[in-house]
Structure 1
Amino acid sequence: MNHHIGIVEDDPNIRNIVSAYLKKEGFTVTLLESAEEAWELWKTEPPAMWILDIMLPGMDGYEFCKKIRMESEVPIIIISAKDEEIDKILGLELGGDDYLTKPFSPRELVARVKRLFKRSSISLANTEVNDTRVTVDELTIDKEERRIFFRGEEYEVTTKEFDMLLILVENVNRAFSREELLIKIWGDNYFGSDRAVDDLVKRIRKKLPHLPLETVWGYGYRLRNEGEVT
């Protein structure tokens, strides 16, 4: 599939290099110098993925990421000259799916783009052989449409939030370590801190405060339910 990727980067050299590598792999790209331009593109011809710089003129990448996440779970890879752990955590907390620090290898970026698209394809393929919906108590997940319902109301969630909820629902009452969740959700090649898992749980609890998502102290998390899973 010829995926469309939006590259939001104010450095023309980085824009052109990233564009060249992605085009070589068969992707369609749109180059944008600002988040404002990217937002206009989102309203007219939304990309299937964003590659987003943080330090932008005008609206910064964090704010743009936040706006996109209010409307969609489209994959977002954040690139930034900031190498502080707090910046990475903030980017992931606002809904970024991956984070690369400048300078980075264009080949590594392409590999991460492919991995994100592959992960999305696998999720869709799984719905062909599994039941399309799974319910635990008052929480229902539609795997085919990637939708979340709790107590009869639909909730908007990001890609990572959906992935974590699906893992926990399909393994109800099982405790997962932070490291397990980090690998399952971010992949084997993710080198960030497991704080990203804690931040993801924090976001889910904020959206679904009555969900029985328990902390297993000193270990990780589990979704507790003593009833029937359907």
Structure 2
Amino acid sequence: MAVDNMQMNNSRKPTLYYVYDPMCSWCWGYAPTWNKLRAALRESGISVEYRLGGLAPDSDLPMPDEMKAFLEQTWHKIAVELGTEFNFDFWRQCQPRRSTYPACRAALIAREQGLEQAMLDGIQQAYYLKAMNPSDLTTLISIAASINLDIDPKEFALQLSSEAINHDLMTEIHQVRALPIQGFPSLVLEHNGSLSPIPLDYLDYQTSYRHLINIR
């Protein structure tokens, strides 16, 4: 599976990169605004591509209590500031692990079939609304089936743990670290051979949209 080339090309049309992690809680908070921005850009001549930043490497260790408390508090903060819905039962019903790379690899596999946004939606809804753990293989297999990913569950599991898909993810994470971003989610526009950070408003897609249209 080849990771899309991010080398700048003056001849290609403007490209907006959405930099995210499927298990980034602020990305979940931004999701409604991101969906509006994507819809607004459909007739703009600006293409949209996804880039995975990768928050946390693979780990089988239970998440430390301090980290669990911090992340649960972050969920509460996002809920208050953005009105985002969360199912806080996750912190009581699941065994959290600080491990987002499996979900990132699932998104890469879905990208091959044009279903990366569907996989992102499925992971976010499972994690934040259904109290399911996307660090677990069983959860990712269930999500793949729910979005009609055209792959056998056993083959999907094999690909998730393959050296090839992990190499693709590591390559993409390395590329993302060279982008002008400070965290996730982030927006970066490639245009006329340059990469520009795009202002992001969690509640108003027009902030990013106006900026994109003005510099297109």
Q: TM-score w.r.t. structure 1 length? A: 0.29
Q: Which structure has the bigger radius of gyration?
A: 1
- More strand per residue: 1
- More helix per residue: 2
**Which one scores higher on RCO, CA 8 angstroms, separation ≥ 6?**
2
